[in-house]
């Protein structure tokens, strides 16, 4: 029941967003300018106007736009003369690999560091971890990216400055983390992208740990004579994992969005760099296609996380059913 | 002793208890002052071409020019003194950040108060829109707006307002709902005051403190976002070189080891963002009654 309701909400959101995108492209700007190549000749322009139905009433145009979007036809890229959606899908694995790698770095470092800072909040270790996380929150991602290139590529010469490196196909999807050279190309951009989420996870884990340590079940476990390691592992860590997993899920979408910045700095050939390149050459069909794809991804991720969260925590299910 | 303190004195004392926050406050004041007084204190007007000497381009920090002038933070590819460029950039970044935040605060305040007072379907509708917008990262929303609307100072300020108003609307609605249930509001209703008067004269002053804290931190967000957008080439035009644009200009020279053109504007950006965040965090802690 809850899942059905949530599915309905997602469909509604998707509909609202498509209407917004439509308004943005068709009503605010002149759709002829936005969707037709400025280099096209008169006959071509007339033909495209007829094909896209730009001479028909607005609600009919929306219908044409919507049915085009549903069947995956979002227009051809001006720059590459191939369907815009194909360009996006071709670049998607690179972005997803970068985002997932960043998330892995954030989780693998963030949870232990946050735990440590939560267990010893007043020691110098705890304080320095927190100071680091404040810095991580405040540092602008793009500037950190530049500094990483400056230190590790230009000064030390350890890692390549930009690009993706060689890829290997796994189930038909090109990935780069399997070869040493590919991994070397991945380290800097992934670290750059991970930094903000790492700070977030440290804060979240620290707060959760401090709260859990005050709970009665921790006191009882200690009174029972359970070793401190076990208390932390079984009673503290388990209880903070649910909110942490939820946040990791929800933040995945924002990591994919923030990859726009990282990809531009490191010339990583993902969707984000494609978006910026397309904006720079005014390749509008690609911009629209990117927009719809990312909105769809966001709504799917939010839906999945909500459903998973309900499965993990019965309290939410009860509240949602009311 | 604490009985004699006014709320403002109490806040000041609570705030000053944390030395780091106090230091951040003074750094922030200093940066604000430097940004406001930039034309008076900088050794050159970095955008007056008559004052630039192309022979001085890309000098390292501490180098002296032919005219005997020392470039403490180096110079850029136009022979522009980085100290002057940074202070002027700080001015632009801060004014865009503060202007957009104030405008978004005003809009969010009005919408939040309306939602809290009206309740029912209007409240539900407004909050659905707020939720919808907050489920997308601000950088994405701003990028898309600028991609569709084009460049310009006015456009980037509008984009920054659009990505911020929802935070304020949500904060205002939350606090206003709590306030509206309190006895002084009942008393005002019994006294026969109208809805608008109660909202503006009675509820508004009590909603402001948490809102100011949110706004402080949001200025930092707005500055960082503007810098990022400018770096990507979608923000400020060349005629208004904010810190983000200065960093973008230095990007090409970074790979040849001339780090200072990007590095120092970044440090200035970092300083202002950290200072604002620390001041905001401490203000929130002091105002939070649970932590007393």
DSSP B184-205: HHHHHHHTT--HHHIIIIIIHH
Among the listed residues B34, B97, B37, the one whose alpha carbon sits nearest the alpha carbon of residue B268: B34
Measured CA to CA, the distance from residue A143 to residue A135 in angstroms comes to 13
pLDDT tens for each residue of B162-204: 888 898 898 888 888 888 888 888 888 888 787 778 888 878 8
pLDDT at B46 over 80: no
Q: For A257, which residue in chain B has the nearest alpha carbon?
A: B140
Q: How many CB pairs under 8 A join A and B?
A: 96
CA dihedral B14, B19, B20, B25 (to 10 degrees): 60
Instruction: Tell me the average pLDDT across A121-149.
Output: 82
Q: Does B277 sit within 8 Å of A154, measured CB to CB?
A: no
pLDDT, greater one: B155 or A62: B155
Environment class of A296 (CB within 10 Å of its CB; exposed 0-12, middle 13-18, buried 19+): middle
Q: Does A298 sit within 8 Å of B270, measured CB to CB?
A: no
pLDDT tens for each residue of B201-254: 878 888 887 788 888 888 888 888 888 888 888 877 777 788 877 788 777 777
Among the listed residues A252, A97, A269, A101, the one whose alpha carbon sits nearest the alpha carbon of residue A175: A97
**CA distance, residue A280 to nearest chain B CA (Å):** 8
Which residues of B are less than 8 Å from A141 in CB distance? 228
pLDDT tens for each residue of B75-101: 666 667 777 778 888 888 888 888 999
Dihedral class, residue A244 (left if φ above 0, else alpha if ψ from -120 to 50, else beta): alpha
Environment class of B21 (CB within 10 Å of its CB; exposed 0-12, middle 13-18, buried 19+): buried
pLDDT, greater one: A318 or A66: A66
Q: Which of A70-79, A278-287, B191-200 has the least mean pLDDT?
A: A70-79
Measured CA to CA, the distance from residue A136 to residue A105 in angstroms comes to 14
Helix, strand or coil, per DSSP, at residue B66 = coil
Measured CA to CA, the distance from residue A162 to residue A185 in angstroms comes to 7
Q: Does B270 sit within 8 Å of A150, measured CB to CB?
A: no
**Is ipTM over 0.95?**
no
Q: Does A140 sit within 8 Å of B269, measured CB to CB?
A: yes
Any A CB within 8 A of B49 CB: no
Q: What is the largest CA-CA distance in chain B?
A: 78
pLDDT tens for each residue of A148-198: 887 877 777 676 777 676 666 666 667 666 666 667 778 888 888 888 888
Q: Does B263 sit within 8 Å of A261, measured CB to CB?
A: no
Which residues of B are less than 8 Å from A149 in CB distance? 254-255
Instruction: Tell me the average pLDDT across A306-318.
Output: 67
Q: What is the pLDDT of residue B103?
A: 93
Which residues of A are less than 8 Å from B251 in CB distance? 146
pLDDT at B292 over 50: no
Residue matched to tokens 């995108």: A21
Any B CB within 8 A of A87 CB: no
Residues 6 or more apart in contact with residue B268 via CB below 8 angstroms:
B31, B86, B89, B90, B243
Q: Does A28 sit within 8 Å of B254, measured CB to CB?
A: no
**CA distance, residue A254 to nearest chain B CA (Å):** 6
Cα A77 to chain centroid, rounded: 24
Domains assigned to chain B = 33-291 (1.10.3720.10)
pLDDT, greater one: A82 or B30: B30
Share of chain A above pLDDT 70, in %: 75
Q: What is the pLDDT of residue B30?
A: 86
What b/e string do you get for B222-238 counting C-beta neighbours within 10 Å, with b at 16 or more? bbbbbbbbbbbbbbbee
Strands (E), chain A: 168-170, 173-175
Residue matched to tokens 């309290």: A315
Q: What is the pLDDT of residue B54?
A: 63
Q: What is the pLDDT of residue A317?
A: 54
Which residues of B are less than 8 Å from A28 in CB distance? 148-149
Q: Does A25 sit within 8 Å of B148, measured CB to CB?
A: yes
Among the listed residues A55, A52, A54, the one whose alpha carbon sits nearest the alpha carbon of residue A68: A52
Q: Does A260 sit within 8 Å of B139, measured CB to CB?
A: yes
Q: What is the pLDDT of residue A322?
A: 40
Instruction: Tell me the average pLDDT across B246-269.
Output: 78
Q: Does A275 sit within 8 Å of B247, measured CB to CB?
A: no
| Among candidates A138, A154, A261 on the partner chain, residue whose Cβ is nearest the Cβ of B228 | A261
Q: What is the pLDDT of residue B213?
A: 81
pLDDT averaged over chain B?
79
């Amino acid at each position: 029941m809850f899942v059905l309701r949530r599915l309905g909400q997602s469909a509604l959101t998707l509909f609202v967003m498509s209407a917004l995108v439509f308004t943005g492209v068709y009503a605010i700007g002149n759709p002829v300018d936005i969707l037709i190549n400025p280099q096209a000749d008169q006959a071509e322009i007339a033909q495209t106007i007829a094909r896209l139905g730009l001479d028909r009433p607005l609600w009919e145009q929306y219908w044409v736009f919507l049915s085009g979007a549903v069947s995956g036809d979002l227009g051809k890229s001006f720059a590459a003369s191939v369907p815009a959606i194909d360009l996006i899908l071709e670049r998607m694995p690179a972005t997803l690999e970068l985002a997932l790698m960043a998330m892995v770095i954030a989780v693998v470092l963030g949870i232990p560091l946050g735990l440590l800072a939560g267990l010893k909040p007043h020691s110098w270790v705890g304080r320095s971890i927190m100071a680091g996380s404040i810095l991580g929150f405040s540092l602008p991602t793009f500037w950190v990216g530049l500094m990483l290139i400056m230190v590790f590529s230009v000064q030390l010469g350890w890692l390549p400055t930009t690009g993706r490196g060689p890829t290997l196909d796994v189930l038909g999807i090109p990935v780069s983390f399997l070869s040493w050279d590919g991994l070397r190309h991945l380290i800097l951009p992934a670290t750059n992208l991970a930094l903000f989420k790492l700070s977030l996870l440290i804060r979240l884990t620290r707060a959760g740990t401090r709260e859990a340590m005050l709970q009665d079940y921790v006191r009882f476990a200690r009174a029972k004579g359970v070793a401190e390691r076990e208390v932390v592992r079984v009673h503290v860590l388990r209880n903070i994992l649910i909110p942490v997993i939820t946040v990791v899920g929800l933040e995945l979408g924002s990591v994919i969005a923030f990859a726009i910045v990282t990809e531009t700095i490191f010339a990583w050939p993902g969707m984000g760099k494609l978006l910026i390149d397309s904006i720079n050459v005014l390749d509008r069909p690609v911009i629209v296609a990117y927009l719809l794809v990312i909105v769809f991804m966001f709504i799917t991720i939010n839906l999945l996380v909500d459903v998973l969260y309900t499965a993990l925590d019965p309290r939410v299910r009860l509240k949602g059913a009311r | 002793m604490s009985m004699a303190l006014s709320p403002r004195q109490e806040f000041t004392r609570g705030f000053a208890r944390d030395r780091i926050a106090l230091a951040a406050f003074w750094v922030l004041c200093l940066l604000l002052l430097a940004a406001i007084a930039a034309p008076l204190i900088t050794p050159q007007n970095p955008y007056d071409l008559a004052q630039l000497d192309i022979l001085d381009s890309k000098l390292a920090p501490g180098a002296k020019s032919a005219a005997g002038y020392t470039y403490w933070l180096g110079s850029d590819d136009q022979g522009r003194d980085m100290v002057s460029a940074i202070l002027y950039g700080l001015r632009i970044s801060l004014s865009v950040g503060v202007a957009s935040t104030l405008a978004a605060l005003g809009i969010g305040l009005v919408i939040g108060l309306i939602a809290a007072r009206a309740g029912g379907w209007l409240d539900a509708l407004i909050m659905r829109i707020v939720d919808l917008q907050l489920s997308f990262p601000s950088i994405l929303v701003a990028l898309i707006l600028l991609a569709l609307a084009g460049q310009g100072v006015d456009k980037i300020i509008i984009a920054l307002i659009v990505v911020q108003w929802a935070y304020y609307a949500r904060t205002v609605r939350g606090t206003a709902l709590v306030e509206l249930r309190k006895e002084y509001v009942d008393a005002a209703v019994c006294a026969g005051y109208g809805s608008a008067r109660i909202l503006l004269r009675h509820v508004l002053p009590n909603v402001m403190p948490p809102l100011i804290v949110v706004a402080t931190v949001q200025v930092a967000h707005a500055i960082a976002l503007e810098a990022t957008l400018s770096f990507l080439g979608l923000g400020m035009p060349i005629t208004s070189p904010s810190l983000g644009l200065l960093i973008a200009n230095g990007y090409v020279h970074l790979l040849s080891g001339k780090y200072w053109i990007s590095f120092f504007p970044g440090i200035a950006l970092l300083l202002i963002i950290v200072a604002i965040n620390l001041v905001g965090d401490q203000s929130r802690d002091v105002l939070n009654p649970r932590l007393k």
